Each structure stands twice: as structure tokens, then as C-alpha cells.
Amino acid sequence: MASMKECCCGVDVHKSFIVAVIATLKGREVEFTKYTRFSTFTDGIRCFKEWLRDHNCYEVCLESTGKYYIPVYRIVSDETFRVDVVHPKYVKAPRGKKNDKRDAKRIADMYMRDHIAEYSLIPPADILAIRDVTRYRRKTVNAITAEKNRMSNCLTVSCIKLDEVLSDTYGKTGRAIIGQIIEQGNCKFDPKPYIDPRVKAPLEYFKMALDGDVTPATLVKMGMIQKRLDFLCTQKAELESTMESLAKDYSRQLEILNSAPGVDSLSAISIISEIGVDMGAFGSAKRFLSWVGVVPQNNESAGKKYSTRIGKGNTWLKPVLVQCANAAIKDKGHPDIREKYLSIKKRRGHGKALIAIAKRLATAIYYMLLRDELYNPVIGKDYAPKRGKISLEKLAEYYSQKGYTIVA
């Protein structure tokens, strides 16, 4: 039987108030007392903290309801109080048998008996600050993409075919031509002064692409989109500068992550903002990969296996790892990753191969931060023949052909 806590508090969190109950161990029985409701104003949360101190209760479990639990966690958690946060799915009561008091009691009971399957990972305050800025930057990038798509729609309905003559509509040439269309109010101008010398498409193609008709309403919309794009790009640059400033205390961890294939400085900051720097919090590499969401789920009942697609995981970290994996498979300095990707792609397709590389990167990141060492791929992990036996001489010859230097 697992050891039980002597005294703890379960808290059901809502937008306007919290409901708390104290559970005390009396012999083998658990006694629930002091059902109390507190406001979520700062003064109310401070009263809650003093109420806990008055009843000598220093272990608290919160339900992570939206963002409402964060002020409670920040004010109550300190050197004296231990505050654990749990996802609602692990403490959810059956339908028809729940109310605020019952929910608080259920959380306290499961917390006292240590029956909660998994607690939420709450990193230190400085990591949370980086996370706030990093996630807002992601939203800003998404907004920039949305505005670019709106501008593309405006060009399409106006029969302006810049995307047919330019590989990047929002490169130097594309921005200059769009700016001139907005300023002049039509597309009846000579595009030659605005075309960069590196563009391969001939001038005649540009004249054909600009043979369109922009309505006044579309012109007004294009002007607004351009202003918003300029604002968002400036905001994105400011956020990136703030990210680098906040992450300067983690220069060693950033150096470690930057050594991994496909990981640049902004990706490294994004990774640290989501997982922190203490890998001991995850317990093992397998649990870390499951938390990220790059491993198949288990879904079996009565001997039948159902969908085993990857789990949802961390929806902020997984896209970053997939982007890094996409860059890693194009990195000529790491041919082993490229060969692994191509090997899986032949059998399972691009998407699953990319997730496999993302999983490999996540595993490497876990051990790099855990051991405080730079990226160092294990020789033979992917290149070694899979079947049969091979002599040392042939193995040495095999790796020599791949560009490795063999040292006796």
C-alpha cells in the first residue's frame, strides 16, 4: 500500500472563485473538513494561502482549469508550500455525481492516496516568461501567414499572376511591385525598375502577369493588409529580440541544442521554453517522447488493436521538432539522418518518415540536456548492415566508403 499524506488540500478552480477542502488522515480513515470558497482576486488568493497556513496544510493540489489556475499557483507556491497541478482528465468525476465541493473532495482524496496518474509539468518562472513570448511569436507568425494569404487572394481575384513569375511573392521584387500597385492605384506601370537582377523570369512575363484589373474595394483591402503586415513583421522582430534577451542565462543549453542537426537559435529557445532544462522531471526518454507526442498510442481491447497513430502531445513543441526534422534531412553534414529518412519514406511515406526523424531528434535532445553534452551521433546506429554477419575488415571498409575515418 502506498504511503498517504498526513494533511493536504484539494482545490477546484473556476474563473471567479476557488473551492478548497482539507483532507486529514485519522488512523486509516480520511477526514474531509473546512470546505471553503475563496475569491480569485489577488486578496482572495492571499487569504486562501493564510487559511492553509492557519490549518498547517502545506501540500496543495490544483486542477488546471484553463489559465485560471496560474495566478493561484504563482501566489501560493513558494519554499513553504508544495503545489502540484493536475490535468482535469485525471480527476474528472462521473457525470451526474459532481459539484464544486465533490470535485474538491475528489482531488484531495486522490492526492492524499497518491492515486493521481500524472502531474502537470510546471517549469520555473523564468522559463514560463520565455514560453509566453515564444508562443506569442508563433501566433504572430501565423497572423503574418494569414495576411499573406489574404494578399494572394486579392492578387488572384484581380488577375495579377505574380506567383507565376516569382518563386516567392513576398520577396524583394514581389514586395516592391505590390507596394507600387497600392501606391499608384492600378497595375498599369513598367515593372522593370522593381525587378531584382537575380530574377530569372523575363520582363515580358512580368508585363503579362500585371495585365489585371484592381477594383477600388480590393485596393483599399490591399492597403490595409500591407499596413498590418508591416506592423506584424516589426512585432515579430521585437519578440525575437526579447526571446534572446530572456534566454541569455541559458547560453550553455542553447549551445548544446544548436549542435543538433536542423536546430537554429530560435528553435533552441522554443524547445527550452517548452521543456525547461531539467530532464529529470520526465523520468525517462520514453516518457519524454510520449509527452512530446511523437510515439504511437496504445489502443487495444479484447485482443483487437485499433488506431495507433501518434498522440496529441505538446502541440507547441511538436511542430518545432517537425520543422527541425525537415531541416535536418536536408543537412549534408548529417547523411545518416537523410538515409534514415529515405529508408522509412520508401515504406511508410513522407509524413511518417518525418515524424520518425522528429522522434530521433527529441531523443537526442533529451540525452544531450540530461548529460550536458553536444550532439554526437552514435557510429553504426543506422549504417550497420541489418542482416547476417560481417567481419571487422568489411565493416571498416563500409564506413570508410561513407566518409568516416577509422582509427585502430
Coil, strand or helix at 243: helix
The tens-digit pLDDT sequence of the chain (408 residues) is 467 888 999 999 999 999 999 999 887 788 888 889 999 999 999 999 999 999 999 999 999 888 999 999 999 999 999 999 998 888 888 877 788 899 999 999 999 888 887 888 888 999 999 999 999 999 999 999 999 999 999 999 999 999 999 999 999 999 999 999 999 988 889 999 999 999 999 999 999 999 888 999 999 999 999 999 999 999 999 999 999 999 999 999 999 999 999 999 999 999 999 999 999 999 899 999 999 999 888 888 888 888 778 888 899 999 999 999 999 999 988 888 999 999 999 999 999 999 999 999 999 999 999 999 999 876 334 444 555 667 777 778 777 776 677 776
List, in order of start, the domains of the chain with CATH numbers: 7-112 (3.30.420.10), 127-246 (1.10.287.4070), 250-300+308-371 (no CATH)
Global pTM value: 0.84
Q: Helix count (H) and strand count (E) of the chain?
A: 15, 7
What is the amino acid identity at position 39? S
CA-based Rg of the chain, rounded to a whole angstrom?
28
d(CA 169, CA 161): 10
Candidates 299, 242, 295, 244; CA nearest to 266 is 244
Kindly give the pairing relationship between strand 17-26 and strand 7-13. Answer: antiparallel
Q: Which of 61, 57, 35 is nearest to 116 (CA)?
A: 61
| pLDDT for the residue 380 | 37
